Structure 1
Amino acid sequence: MGETDFPPLKNDLILRAARGEPTERTPVWIMRQAGRYLPEFRQVREQHDFFTICRTPSLATLVTLQPIDRYPTLDAAIIFSDILVIPQALGLEVEMLPGKGPHFPSPLVTPADMARLKSSVDVEKELSYVFEAITMTRKALEGRVPLLGFSGAPWTLMAYMIEGGGSNNLHKSKTWLYRYPVESHELLQKLTDVIIEYLVGQVKAGAQMLQIFESWGGELSPQDFSTYSLPYISQISTRVKSTLQTQSLPIVPMTIFCKGSWYALQTLSNLSYDVISLDWTIDPVHAKQVTGGRVTLQGNMDPSILYGTEEKIKETVTGMIEAFGSNKRYIVNLGHGILPTVDPENVKIFLECVHEVGREVAKRVEGSHKK
């Protein structure tokens, strides 16, 4: 799809911030903003299995728009999907169990199990439902806000495929790294190649920005991160952008989110990502110093603060935006996904406060520049 096939964009704050351009206020969106904390989403889930929603473009569009309809203060939509559609495309079964989360009935136990993965993946066919949902959602948004696409990063996906679901210590997947390093790199490269094609397909379908989730990056030591994560997330940004250019597609901003990988901030800022998303364990002033203005920063409020009082939410938002302190190179978000039992009214308070404080800081910065 070409840009002329979609309604004109009315709010480009996120895209401008990602490119390092000034914004009249600080833009905001929320990781997992479409999901379990919304009563309207829970109504849909009562009728449909999680992956049925992901695989049905009309349903994915419906739930992607739910937070946008409820909160006109959001500056972006993110397509409703899951990072584990990649392992599914590779041939592994993934279930979403109530109260437990993702579950692989037959995970990879030894490298011999890699033979069960498809030798080649027809990404356009296997993940066509995501592309269709992106195109449908982009049209349904009617230009209100940009639409983000996303993927899990190779190490995070590999860990899920080996652990068989969530894990407290990732000992099974780390065993692979230390016992089977050659095969681990083989699997990581296989995932990387599929992810790149998948992300290019999302842009072709209408995604205007992309985020890579290395959700388990912080479970690796700095040395292991440099060996088993960094080379592959680096490939993703460079190869996606070069492929988009070769195919005359829009070169969209790309965000990397490596939860817990505070030690890699400087290195990440030297890659070809436009935005680094921060978790809540990183001080904003430190992040700005380390990255040196080379990238836009995103984040980094502790999601649990949304359980606090209105005063606490406003206090935290104010302090966070003041600390990042700019009318460019910053996007407000949580430091991880919104938690499922958060009160939607507290989300409204959070978003409205971001707008109010974001405007004040932008005016102040703009005024200081004119002096």
Structure 2
Amino acid sequence: MTGFALGVDQEEWCGQLRALAVERLRPLAEKGEPGRVNRPLLAALGELGLLERVFASGALELCLLRESLAYGCTEAETALALQGLGAYPVLRAGSEEQRERWLPEVRAGRAVAAFALSEPGAGSDAAALALSATAETAAAGAGWRLSGEKCWISNAPEADFYTVFARTGEGPGAKGVSAFLVPADRPGLSGAPLDMLSPHPIGSLAFDGVPVGPRDLLGEPGRGFRVAMDTLNLFRPSVGAFAVGMARAALDVTLAYTADRTAFGGTLSDLQAVAHRVAEMATRTEAARLLVYAAAGAYDRGAGDVPRRAAMAKLLATETAQYVVDHAVQLHGAVALQRGHLLEHLYREVRAPRIYEGASEVQRTIIAKELYGSAGAGVAR
């Protein structure tokens, strides 16, 4: 995939999504309480069929969905993405019983899902998980007890169920991690909110001997890290799409403002320094967008280089969005720092994607590892 262009139907759909985000979803988002799950917003996403699209679409459509919603309402985009992130492992690796119990509720916006991977000592280094799953007995069909802590979990502690990754010990490092579906009302599970720079809830979870059994497993014992990576390989390019949506919103409002704002005997756009900066913002945004959709296309084709492409897409798009929003604020001046201004909102929202689902430094590590792995014997020793 050397280029990317939307078809007429896709352009129309994206336009409809942007309009929905502004007209239908943003008013619900504005009524929400910061740091709490916005259940009316989730219900609207379900009613509009957008949560269904998360699970029924490929990576390309998921990216279009996230970019378009982010352009008009970042809160709606994030609510939708977190449902997908928390429940996709159930779709991909869950049993028929697990899928029938939870996925219809998630799609309707009635059940809140969460992806519980990070820990106080294992954020970027996901293979270093310490949450233990201790086998209760050696008997066939016996369960485990989860003990330890998760931290920086989006939708915690308000989610209705958690996709939890714990160390069952079948092997060292990533080889000894299993994935579990843990309902929020399971005995021994508690949580607390964290005061974060985020409109949605982020919290910690404490596991005090939480019982789980074979029916709670997502996939096979010792294969949980693969479940996590399969999920992240899908969602990392779409994090990039979220970032592109923010960058495009910041760019458009900057184009309008600099073309209209008078200063120094003309408009700001007449100043070469301003015009060149806007040109740079636009070029970087377009480059990031192309890389995001190239990664999404590779995922949908089942290409072998998806981890590298996904990491590149997330890295470039999130770093680009930070650059574009920061320069948009600079070109607007003090007006952009007023509470309620679009850029004040985007300035707060744009920072976190460079950290979650693998920080930028982790993406560079993945890219380098994939590059040198592909080089193989061709690399001089």
| TM-score class normalised by the smaller sequence | under 0.3
- TM-score normalised by L of structure 2: 0.27
Quick one: higher RCO (CA 8 Å, sep 6+), 1 or 2? 1
- Return the TM-score normalized by structure 1: 0.28
